[in-house]
Structure 1
Amino acid sequence: RRLIFFRTGDSEYLLNELSHVISTDPLVNFTKLLAYVVESVKKATVIKSTSLLLFKPVPFSEKGSERVQIIGDKKYEPITQQNIQHIIRFFANGEFVVLNRHEVKDVSIINEMRMLEAVFIFPIFVNRKLTGILSLGRARRGLPIASDNLDQLMIIANEIGSAVEKSKIIEEKLQLERKMYENEKLSSLGRLSTSVAHEVKNPLSSIKTIVQVMREDLRKNDPLQEDLAIIVNEIDRLTKVVNQLLQFAKPSSEVKANVKIGEVIHSTLVVLNHEAKQNNIITHCQIPNDLPSLATDEGAMKEVFFNLLHNAIQAMPTGGKISIDAHCLHNNHAIQVTIADTGPGIPQESSQKIFEPFYTTKQTGTGLGLSIV
């Protein structure tokens, strides 16, 4: 009867080992854990190919367009949930049954199973919601799978569902802890920034006033005029940094109004147009005229787009292209704006830090632009 496992104890060993790995270290790399499970199933059986397909986040949450994460020895072309929609719908009621290609009558399901090179498909449920499938191909010797071995594989599929659920709980907890840590760090930084900014701002105003009075007392052709002008410019630059510090530490209260996002973007581009031309940068906008108005703070939106577009311009000192695209989401209740440039991109080691206050790779940057965004 046992035609799929090499020995009677193989299935029991596999289950025990799997349960041990899941329960021993809940923080184990989740993808590695699932890869281990799939490889273990393949080693303990005479099946040619075994694959695990996970859906992100859940089936058809965005009309089935999401890519499917595939773990296993079988490398498919990139597929979406839409490509296996009939298999997904088969398991939609949350009932744990096994799909056997030799017993299926639905031609659409058969075609999808052939695409996956699957003979058997086991559902992976989390709280009765389908989150993935375990796909098994043909046996190497062309032998059928015994019913008791199917039961063992169903248990393994259940174990995978438990692992998925545990991983999600752990990830949510870690994200919450990270968020709490970041909030506390930003709160402390905000208090420090406010203190420093106030201590610096008042002396700067006094210094600027004195310098301006000195310039008025000097003749226009006095050689000191140029030096004093430099001092005024540097004071203005420092004042701008101080104001950014204050804004970061204590953002101004929102003044919401119906705002045309397209108009905000175009007005921001007008401000940056001269600098873009100097850097030989072309801007290309795809913003529909019929975009709905949004209730938001226009000043805050201008600052967001200014910082993003200014960063893009500074990233391409020898020329390039900036593309701006906008379209509606969620039945016109939201607008997605995408800004892309042909610059060198963000180094991988910096990608996790770019929104941290004071983090910058520029020699003259303050590191507050993206943190304000």
Structure 2
Amino acid sequence: MYPGWRTYDLSDFIIESIDTGVILLDEELRIVKWNSGMERLSGFSKDEVIGRKYFEVFPHLEPKFKDIIVRVMETRSPHEINHYEHHTLRRGPIVINRRIYPLKDEHDVVRGAVIITEDITEKALLEEQLRRKSQKLEIKVRELKTVIEIVNAMQSTYRLEAILYIILTGITAGKGLGYNRAMLFLMSEDFKWLEGKMGIGPIDREEGFRIWEQLHEDARSLQEMVLEYNGEIESSPLNLAVRSIRIPTDRTDSPLIKAMNERRVIKWDEKDTDEYLQKLNLTNFVVLPIFSYVEPLGVIVVDNIVTGQEIDEDSIDTLKLFATQVAMAIERSVLYQDLDRQIEKLKRANEEIRAAQEQLLYTERLATIGQMATSLAHEIRNPVSVIGGYARSVLKRMEDSDERRDFIQTIVEETDKLEELLRRNLDFIQPVKLKLKRHEISQIISTAISLVRRECEDKEVRIHLSLDETPAVIMADQYQLIYAIVQIVRNALQSMPQGGDIWVESKVSTEKGEVRIEISDTGCGMSKEVLKRAFDPFFTTDKLRSGLGLTMVRKIVEDHNGSIQLRSEEGKGTTAIILLPLTSEGESEGSHEERR
């Protein structure tokens, strides 16, 4: 040992009074000073280490520190090793800062090294806690920003499907909350079922690994992602599986039903799940209830099926905050949808009022026309009857060879036609008593078609008859209905001067209690304007010579408590649809007088 050690002024008092560990090494790296601070740090006493080489005491440090100590002595430059984990005999692992200085004598000659060891375990622990809290705070701030972005996106629409897509995309997108999968279930309107509505993510880990790279390469922003709902997810395996699930609300053993009923988050990590969740490969997941102030709305299910990362309490707190916003968005959507339905009802009510007003005007016109026509018909019929009577009397007394006979014959025929026209007009105007009896509708249709079949053949029109074989009895004046069907077919014939086809078919619906008769043609059809006025009295066009024909048809059908409508397209043809009620068991036969 160098003789100058004993006289070297080291101030033992100062070294012993500080908590920091101090070690003095000679040129051979033997320990010549070991203060009380070092005893506390290492667990070795002075007597155990003084005079021994440093790396005999700490052999595990030699590979890392021997070269450093030697270099400090050679270069005369200090060296620091910070935040080094050191294992002690008594305290176990601690965190230290170690500073190594060259030890010089009064002649500035390096005679060894000074190793100062500072225990910073508590400081390091506090720093680590601060780092973790800062990291959590950053994550929380990022999550809150994400929630705000998603909420803003939800405010941009009130369509439920778009809102659900925004919600689930925000939960699963890497630029959103970043979970592997999200599924949403909503209560049915009768509160008896929890129904799967939408799911985003892979159906299993294998699909997750396949699409992982694709998801990470998506360069779109979160705002762009959530607003680009185009229906593509409709056919995804997970979405189809979610939509196939309906859980009865009395299944209280289901974690989804339990979370909804108890209005609390459930973290499920049991391998045994019910048959509904097995379809979704759910074993470790979180269920978030969605509820309004008065009633449950549904649940959101979130998991990390690909990464397996646990969803911690901090993440659950963010999801709970998000679920509150989701509930508000869904409620808003439902309210908008209810408002849309009310608006539609109001529109229909207005349409019904408008139709009723038109019907009232139509009825008033009919009444006015009826009064005029009745008066006119009576005024004309008397002189026409006199003329016809005299003409027939003259005709009877004329010889067949009389050259004036053809003129008188013409007068008789024309007065007969005029009297028939007046009679038909008066039949339309004046109340008609229907002779109601039970009739098989197929028999009425067959009879009507047989009356016009020859006319169809003469005009090269093919008529196709298809009658429902289901027995269908109606209360009807068969002659009136036969007339109505014949009139419709004749109108069809007028629209096909070059020939064509007419289809007559019946369909019986015992559930609705009605029979449907459809008469379709391949004629010229009608424009919307003509179709709108087709049932007006005395309305005629070049293509529609109905006069009173269709008006009387509608009157007959309505007298039988039925309805008729026309569908037509120019150049393609027209279809008349008649709906008549089937007779009930207790309905009696008799007469029925039309009331206006």
Same fold (TM over 0.5): yes
| Paired letter, 1:340 | S
TM-score (structure 1 length as normaliser): 0.62
Measure how far apart 1:253 and its partner are: 0.8
Pair 1:253-2:433 in alignment = yes
Partner of 2:198: 101
Judge conservation of contact 2:440–2:473 (CA < 8 Å) in 1.
Answer: yes
Please give the alpha-carbon distance, in whole angstroms, between the structure 1 residues aligned to 2:387 and 2:543: 25
Measure how far apart 1:282 and its partner are: 1.2
SS of alignment partner, residue 102 of structure 1:
strand
Judge conservation of contact 1:241–1:366 (CA < 8 Å) in 2.
Answer: no
Judge conservation of contact 2:374–2:429 (CA < 8 Å) in 1.
Answer: yes
Deviations 1:300-358 (A, max 9, x none): 11111111111112221221111110121234842211111111112222001011110
Task: Select 1:291's aligned residue among 471, 485, 491.
Answer: 471
| Paired letter, 2:493 | I
SS of alignment partner, residue 326 of structure 1:
strand
SS of alignment partner, residue 161 of structure 1:
helix
Pair 1:222-2:398 in alignment = no
Judge conservation of contact 1:193–1:245 (CA < 8 Å) in 2.
Answer: yes
Please give the alpha-carbon distance, in whole angstroms, between the structure 1 residues aligned to 2:447 and 2:198: 60
SS of alignment partner, residue 268 of structure 1:
helix
Measure how far apart 1:258 and its partner are: 1.2
Task: Select 1:326's aligned residue among 496, 506, 513.
Answer: 506
Judge conservation of contact 2:462–2:500 (CA < 8 Å) in 1.
Answer: yes
Task: Select 1:274's aligned residue among 441, 450, 454.
Answer: 454
| Structure-2 change in CA distance of 1:90 and 1:220 (3 Å) | farther
Measure how far apart 1:362 and its partner are: 4.6
Judge conservation of contact 1:4–1:149 (CA < 8 Å) in 2.
Answer: no
Q: Which moved more, 1:207-216 or 1:157-166?
A: 157-166
Instruction: Report the structure number with the largest CA radius of gyration.
Output: 2
Deviations 1:91-122 (A, max 9, x none): 44289x997513999847359xxxxxxxxxxx
Please give the alpha-carbon distance, in whole angstroms, between the structure 2 residues aligned to 1:353 and 1:100: 47
Judge conservation of contact 2:195–2:243 (CA < 8 Å) in 1.
Answer: no
| Structure-2 change in CA distance of 1:275 and 1:158 (3 Å) | closer
Pair 1:3-2:100 in alignment = no
SS of alignment partner, residue 101 of structure 1:
strand
Partner of 2:365: 185
Partner of 1:161: 341
| Paired letter, 1:356 | D
| Structure-2 change in CA distance of 1:363 and 1:110 (3 Å) | closer
- Higher fraction of strand: 2
| Aligned residue-pair number | 273
SS of alignment partner, residue 235 of structure 1:
helix
Structure 2: tracts of 5 or more residues without a match: 1-146, 167-185, 201-237, 246-321, 554-596
Deviations 1:207-241 (A, max 9, x none): 11111122223221323222222222222222222
Q: Which moved more, 1:312-321 or 1:177-186?
A: 177-186
| Structure-2 change in CA distance of 1:184 and 1:212 (3 Å) | same
RMSD over equivalenced CA pairs, Å: 3.8
SS of alignment partner, residue 434 of structure 2:
coil
Measure how far apart 1:286 and its partner are: 0.9
Please give the alpha-carbon distance, in whole angstroms, between the structure 2 residues aligned to 1:151 and 1:242: 66
| Paired letter, 2:340 | I
TM-score (structure 2 length as normaliser): 0.40
Partner of 1:125: none
The one of the two structures with greater contact order (alpha-carbon pairs below 8 A, sep at least 6) is: 1
Measure how far apart 1:177 and its partner are: 2.2
Partner of 1:264: 444
| Paired letter, 2:465 | C
Judge conservation of contact 2:495–2:523 (CA < 8 Å) in 1.
Answer: yes
Deviations 1:47-81 (A, max 9, x none): 7xxxxxxxxxxxxxxxxxxxxxxxxxxxxxxxxxx
Task: Select 1:372's aligned residue among 529, 535, 552.
Answer: 552
Please give the alpha-carbon distance, in whole angstroms, between the structure 2 residues aligned to 1:178 and 1:198: 30
SS of alignment partner, residue 351 of structure 1:
helix
Please give the alpha-carbon distance, in whole angstroms, between the structure 2 residues aligned to 1:363 and 1:222: 42
- For 1:56-67, list aligned pairs within 5 A: none
Partner of 1:311: 491
SS of alignment partner, residue 149 of structure 2:
coil
| Paired letter, 2:370 | G
Deviations 1:129-185 (A, max 9, x none): xxxxxxxxxxxxxxx995254444344333323322322332232232222222222
